[in-house]
Each structure stands twice: as structure tokens, then as C-alpha cells.
A and B are shown apart, each in its own frame.
Chain A
């Protein structure tokens, strides 16, 4: 049960949040179709750090980006999702 430091709500239990997808899998409507399909169906899936999109579903409902280690569950950073930075 991770503890996630929501930038809006403070440190909250993982059960309030939902994992959505990795940042590099986000598909925008402007992308050409074949790039979109490629991004949709390929993941690095590392046994290390990755950048993930989560939502504080049972809290502020905001979208957050977690840099999180998938083996140790260490959370290196939590930030509000910012399209300019994260897409």
C-alpha cells in the first residue's frame, strides 16, 4: 500500500488513487494513426523506474505523474500532470 504525495492533498494511501498508463503510451488525436497504434500497443515495461500517469480518483480527482520504481516501489517524484512537460 504505497503512500503517494499528492501535490494537492498531501500524503495519501494508494487506495485513493488509480493507475492509468505510462506517459509514453498517451496517444493524442493529432498523432498519425500508425504512430498512435504503435504507442498504444508497446511498453518499455522496465523492472526499474518509469513515468506513470495516475489519478487521485477518491481525492482531488486530478491527474498526476509519478516517477516510480516498479521493483522497489520507491516513488522518486509526484507532480500534477502538465501537458507541456509530460506529453
Chain B
């Protein structure tokens, strides 16, 4: 592969570039993305500058050759759920439409850093589900079998194998959550969430996409029943197609077009401890518990638990959820007790009414939705962007996104991984 100095319009990052910069007092770095004034019109406007929206813009330019694109972000890019998730990447869902979509994402994660020339630190260190009973293990085996039959990696682990992988787990047979074994996806793991937003923004910008921050959409312009543009805090912008991509804010934005969505905004919290030397080398989740544990490259243990289970946009959560996550984490890994939570935060998740994303046209012409990812959107970022770019560019759903059409709820073709139905707080 030819090592050009520029990659798609941007100056290439590399070890050599770092060396040169170090020797010349950090001169020569360019802005990672421009700060353009919004134009009067674009072919496609994407509302929402998170990972999904920026990935969409990148693939519109890269795959479909469309450059007259704008991403409008009301704050600073990646400031929503992209900057608040717990960075887990995996595709080991039970339902076929979900695992096919997320596995496509995993393939894209694999080459993302090189494609974007931005190290997103995708670390396929494994995503492990623990089983705490024979019943759990059978459920995990079923999930694994469904994955393996669809060509996706899944491996059942015995108790001993789990212990070898995570030596600090409480393996006592009388532990409150005894470990019977696990199901691991070795290709899964973590990635640096901020880097994903920045990497896609830089690459999209280099291809000519306008990434416009501090630009909040305040309404839609309608012409003959069709969306023809947006009103923003930085003036009106005309658009051929408009794609909503705002996660927890899907409801208020769709309301500008008079639409109500099968989505409710709920808070999800997470927290991180002070950095310590390496102690947990894989991502730990549980078949029975909602708690999940991983260690960031900086050394902090990243933890999460149950969602708050009531509607909110406050990005501030209930202390009992953090306390319960801490309780379960210590029950699984007792050595965590003396580590200190240094930061906790919350995001607003767009809980769809079957737990699966919505990625399709909306019942208003010219308007599209990519949302409803609940608390599982980060891992899907590249596939979400790819499929959203497809429908925005061609007007047709990408085959992987076809099951996630907006009208599936009225038709009865819901995709319910947890099998709990409509009310999001049961999820």
C-alpha cells in the first residue's frame, strides 16, 4: 500500500509524522476538521453529529461519492451518547437480524483505524457473557449456536477456562452468583469512543463534508407535504433529504415534523474508577445480571448496570443504579471493592418499543430516522452509518437494515431480543 502523505484530503497520521512533529516543535499538524459556515443548501443534511451521524456522512462521501452533505450538531461532535457509552463492541445477539447487522459492524471495526487513518483503538480482547447456572449455560449455548450457524464466532467456556481468562472472578461454589462458565466472542472487545467521532469527522471533512457544530435544528421546512430543509440556530438550510440521527433526542426532533415515534428517552448511567495497573483483560458481562465490567487502556475500570427505567432527558441518574452496579461488580470481582469511582455520567438512550433500532424512511417524505438503538448503539456505529448512508443516498433500505423499518411495529414484525414487549423499562 502506497504510503501517501495525504489520505483523502487530510494529512496522514503516522509514527513518522509524530517523529517529525516531535523534532519540529509540533509544527505541521492541521485542524482535524474545518469549522465551515453552513451553506444555504445541501443534497443531504444529517441532524446529529455523534458517531452514527458522522459515520453516515463519511460513507455517503466514501462509498456513494456524495460530497454536498452537511452534519448539523447542536453542541460539539461526539458530545452525546458517543461520548458517554462504555465502549463495548460485540455482535453476539441472539436474533438474526441483529447479529447480522452488528457483525457487519464488527467487520468494519476491524479495518476502521486504517480506513480513517485515526487510531480508534479497537481492541478485540473478547466479550464474555458469564453463566451462573445450568439454565444460564443452556441459554448461552443457544445464543452461541445461533451465532455459529450464521458464521459468527462464539465459544462456550468451562468454569476453568473462564477462571483462566479472568483470574479475579469469585469462583467460590457458594458465591451469590456462582460461575458455571461463559460464552465468549473473541472478536468483540472495546474501542475508544471519542476517537470514533473524531476519526469519522476528520475523514468525512477531508472528503468535503461540512461538519457544522453549534448548529441546532429548530424545525423543518415543508414544501407540499415533503421535508425540504431545516430551520436552525444558524439560519435555514435547504436539503434534498434530511436524516435524523440524534439518539435520545429523536422524539423532540421528530416532533418538529408532527411525528410521534415508538421511542421513549430513558437515562443510562456508567462510571469509571481511578486508573490501576492491568487487572481485567476482557469485557465481562452476565447472562443474569445487568452489570458489565471492562478496563480502559488508561487503567480505569469502566462499569455499568441497569438503566434508570423512567423517562428523562436530564442526563443525571438514580444513585441506586450505580450502587447496585457496584454491588454486582464486587460480587463478581471482589478485588474491586477498594477501587474508587472517580467519575460517573449518564446518557439519554432512545429506547425503542422492541429494543431494536429504527433505520428507515419516516412517514413524511424526504425525512429519515436512524435511532432507537437503546443502550446498544456504540457497537453498531460503522454499520449504522453504512446502512443509513445507503438509504439516504439511494432511497432504498440496505438489506441488513430492512428488518428495522419504522413501520414494523404496526405490521407486527418486531425484533425483540429480550422478549419483553412494548414498555421500555422492562428491557
Residues of chain A having any CB pair with chain B under 8 Å: 1, 14-15, 18-22, 37-38, 40-47, 50, 52, 70-73
Contacts and interface: CB of A to CB of B under 8 A. Distances in A.
Contacts of A15: 318, 320
Given A1-B318, A20-B423, A41-B422, A70 B311 contact: yes
Contact of B311 (A1, A38, A52): A52
Interface stretch (B37-45, B142-150, B187-195, B254-262): B254-262
Contact size class for B? 20 to 34
B200 interface: no
Given A44-B260, A46-B251, A71 B353 contact: no
B113 interface: no
Contacts of A71: 312-314
B320 A45 contact: no
A59 to B, nearest CB: 16
A39 B249 CA distance: 20
Contacts of B29: none
B265 A45 contact: yes
Question: Which 6 pairs between the two chains have the least Cβ-Cβ distance?
Answer: A45-B251, A19-B310, A42-B260, A41-B409, A41-B262, A71-B313
12 contacts: A18-B309, A19-B309, A19-B311, A37-B409, A37-B410, A41-B410, A41-B422, A44-B251, A44-B255, A45-B261, A47-B265, A73-B314
Contact of A73 (B255, B312, B320): B312
A18 B251 CA distance: 22
B423 A70 contact: no
Give chain B's interface secondary structure class.
mixed
Interface of B: 249-252, 255, 260-265, 309-314, 318-320, 353, 409-410, 422-423, 425
A15 B410 CA distance: 34
Contacts of A50: 311
Given A19-B309, A70-B314, A71-B313, A45 B260 contact: yes
Nearest to A54: B310
A20, A46, A50, A52 — most chain B CB neighbours (10 Å): A46
A43 B262 contact: yes
B46 to A, nearest CB: 20
A22 B264 CA distance: 10
B320 A42 contact: no
B423 A72 contact: no
Given A46-B255, A47-B313, A73-B312, A40 B422 contact: yes
A43 B263 contact: yes
Contacts of B311: 19, 22, 45, 50, 52, 70
Given A14-B318, A45-B311, A71-B314, 4 more contacts: A14-B310, A41-B353, A42-B262, A44-B260
A19 B319 CA distance: 17
A60 B381 CA distance: 44
A3 B278 CA distance: 41
A50 B318 CA distance: 20
B262, B310, B319, B353 — most chain A CB neighbours (10 Å): B310
Contacts of B423: 20-21
B320 A70 contact: no
A38 B318 CA distance: 31
B422 to A, nearest CB: 6
A42 B261 contact: yes
